Amino acid sequence: MRPRSRAILDSLGRNVGKLALATTIAIVLAAMTHIAAILMLPWLARQDAYARLAPTASAENAVLVAAPRAGGFGEVDAPLPETWLPLHDPALAVGACAYDLADGPLRVSAPDGALFQTISLHARGAGAYYAITDRAAVRGRLELVVATRDQLDAILAEEAAAQVETGPADAFGDLRVVAPTREGFVLVRTLAAFPSEAPLAEALVEAVSCTIEPL
């Protein structure tokens, strides 16, 4: 075999060996990453929004979890109020209350305030499933009932029986929402368009009540 051919073969052998070593290292690293991700799943599951908000389930009102920036929204270098919420809007006061419908439907009651407010319902592990603004308030309050399908059927049956005895009910009833899961949380956001409105926004968030009504 000619020296040049031998040199080419030796070079190919060395490159193949390097390629095999690199491929082996990549496979090992990928396997280690995959195993680490699987082992972290239980820890990550305990860090979801519902888990963080679980202590608020015993509160009768929404708990403030993020406050608006009171020092002026134009101060882009000013630090945001500390919160675990990602990318928190500095113009919003955010409150939340977790719920578990095992003992009955949840009633969310919010006053019709002077600031724009939204209320969204989130199922544990399934994201948001309903949202509404304070513009839907009737007679100065927004009344929202969150229930499972069986609970809502029981409420409707009870109302139908009551109407037989007392006649038609008031036309302005509660807003009823069927929850896709038993556990979830309510998120309340109130807009403070100006820094001077920050205290009012926080007060309106904390004025939202979240109570379980056993059937």
pLDDT-based confidence at 2, cuts 50/70/90? low
Residue 20 vs residue 141, higher pLDDT: 141
Determine the structural domain holding residue 87 and report its residue range.
49-212
Among 9, 26, 45, the domain boundary falls at 45
The string of pLDDT tens digits covering residues 77-112 is: 444 445 667 667 888 999 999 999 999 999 999 988
CATH code of the domain covering residue 159:
2.60.40
Question: How many CB atoms are located within 10 Å of the residue 98 CB?
Answer: 24
pLDDT at 171 > cutoff 50: no
Same domain, 108 and 170: yes
Whether the Cβ atoms of residue 95 and residue 206 lie closer than 8 Å to each other = yes
Residues 86 and 64 placed together within one structural domain of the fold:
yes
Tally the domains of the chain: 2
Q: Are residues 41 and 53 in the same domain?
A: no
CA 69 to CA 168: how far, in whole Å? Answer: 48
DSSP letter string over 84-153? SSTT--TTEEEEEEEEEGGGS-EEEEEE--SS-EEEEEEETTTEEEEEEEGGG-BTTEEEEEEE-HHHHH
Pair (10, 56) in one structural domain: no
Q: Do 107 and 39 have their domain in common?
A: no
Shared domain for 121 and 169, answered yes or no, is: yes
Q: Is residue 134 located within the same domain as residue 38? A: no
pTM over 0.85: no
Better-scored residue on pLDDT, 201 or 114? 201
